[in-house]
Amino acid sequence: MREWLRTHPMFVLLLPLIGAILLCRYTQRPVNLLQDTEFCYLDSMHTYRTVVRDYPSPRRRTQRIEVELLSMEDSLSVPLHQKTILYIATDSLGRAAALQVGDTLLLRTRIQRGGTIDGFDYGNYLRMQGLVGTGYVPAHAWRCIARGNASWHPKTWQHHLSQRLSVMPFTPRERGTLQALTLGYKEDIDSDVRRCFQASGAAHVLAVSGLHTGIIYTVFWLLFTGFGRWKPLYEDTAGRIALSVALLLVLWGYALLTGLTPSVVRSSLMLSIVQVGYMCRRQAVSLNTLAAAALLILIANPRDLFSVSFQLSVAAVAAILILQPSMKSCLPYRLTRRVWINKVWTYLRDLILVSIAAWLGTMPLTTYYFGQTSNYFLLTNLMVLPLATLAVAGGLLCLLLGTLPWIGQVVCWLTQAVVWLMNTAVGWVESLPGSVTVIRISPLMVMLLYGAIVAGALTMTRKLWWAIPCAACLTAFGYLYTLI
């Protein structure tokens, strides 16, 4: 263990930081992580002056809007600087739907914390997101007192690009999926499509995250290196710096276009560290890279430690780095002497191993948080990941060329065909019998599952005595499961 910590110095810094964050979260000493979400005006009607921080998201009879409370305007003006979610009732004029980032509103509402829904503490979830609560605003109880100019805001760019896709010749079902894949705009996703992706284990495809950022990184790396043919040009220091700077601009430009969502920022940060390591001739992808990215993220926002997306992204990458090398011996390297068959097999083998490793790394957490697990995750990933890569690339081409005559129509038609095929494949997997297993587990059972996974990985590295703790963890898990 001492040798491992010596060769992984970032964990020496990360682990004490995690311990300090947990101490502050559960003891509120010496720092209260939720201090900025403590709100003394809960459950009482007040008049507030607010500024819109995100574009409206349509609901059945309301528009969901994230706002910042600037001040309470009752008898006296009391300054506030806290964020909340408002549900503004729609009217015949569509005023709420026309709001933009930066608009200043004067409204009257009652801010509430949020209760427990089927065992899920919604109020605590909001506080961990930096939100004090939610409020309902009737159609007659608000007015816009100033229009904002937020053309520089990333959310504005994301909104404009989604509007650009909306005027292209896509069917509503495929357009909603394409907007989610390319821009992270998930408000127009068809409800049946969303349900199918969740049940088939492909929900991560709809959430712009490390997968999509990795696709963008790979596509532009191939373009900048001439699909590998110009790679010798980047062996010297100047070439490495030029390639790295270009890729960093692409990564953070894409993060801006998707509205700087936390998952994209995390993946862009990690890939940036990878690229800086490549520029300095260091090992590009390693556990130290992952620990460095996690360290920077938690320093910037310690509450991310309790974010489900942060936990899943870190667990998935860590599992791929740790488990994939151990599992390579389980599948042959070559099938025949024909080169093209072996190349196809190598791609399929890597895809299978990455899918299994990522599933093993995230399965305990997804089961704990969502109460279900997909049984056909491997089949889903084999079909969906190649199609998602083509869909993301097609979506970017549509944004660039979609409004051009002839060429734009062909690009949009091909992209629509790919997205339709992906939606159909996911729907077929979801319709298979036994596609989802509903199961509830406790935090202790999550730890036992991870213990079994780690011990199993060590067993595959020919340390056979690790099979004993692996079996012990699985036995304890089975015993606790029978008690639920």
Q: What is the pLDDT of residues 193-229, one digit of tens each?
A: 888 887 777 777 776 667 778 888 888 888 887 776 6
Q: Which two tokens stand for residue 437?
A: 């297993």
Question: How does pLDDT run across 297-319, given as a tens digit for each residue?
Answer: 899 889 888 888 888 888 888 88
Segment among 234-248, 326-340, 468-482 with least mean pLDDT:
326-340
Is residue 355 predicted with pLDDT exceeding 70? yes
- What is the C-alpha to C-alpha distance for residues 176 and 171, in angstroms, rounded to an integer? 9
CA-nearest of 240, 268, 242, 239 to 253 is 268
Q: What is the pLDDT of residue 85?
A: 95
Q: Once rounded to an integer, what is the mean pLDDT over residues 9-38?
A: 86
User: Band of the pLDDT at 473, cuts 50, 70, 90?
Assistant: very high
Q: What is the pLDDT of residue 161?
A: 85
Q: Among the residues of 191-338, which ranges form H helices?
A: 191-199, 203-206, 210-224, 237-257, 262-279, 287-300, 308-327
User: Band of the pLDDT at 437, cuts 50, 70, 90?
Assistant: confident
CA-nearest of 182, 204, 183, 203 to 193 is 203
Beta carbons of 145 and 105 less than 8 angstroms apart: yes
CA-nearest of 177, 197, 196 to 187 is 177
CA-nearest of 153, 201, 204 to 181 is 204
Beta carbons of 52 and 101 less than 8 angstroms apart: yes
Segment among 243-252, 256-265, 387-396, 449-458 with least mean pLDDT:
256-265
User: Mean pLDDT for the chain?
Assistant: 84
Query: Rounded to two decimals, what is the model's pTM?
Result: 0.85
| First and final C-alpha spacing in the chain | 35
Is residue 51 predicted with pLDDT exceeding 90? yes
Q: Which two tokens stand for residue 369?
A: 């948080």
Residue 67 DSSP SS3 = strand
Question: How does pLDDT run across 221-259, given as a tens digit for each residue?
Answer: 888 877 766 666 667 777 788 888 888 998 898 888 887
User: Band of the pLDDT at 72, cuts 50, 70, 90?
Assistant: very high
Is residue 335 predicted with pLDDT exceeding 80? no
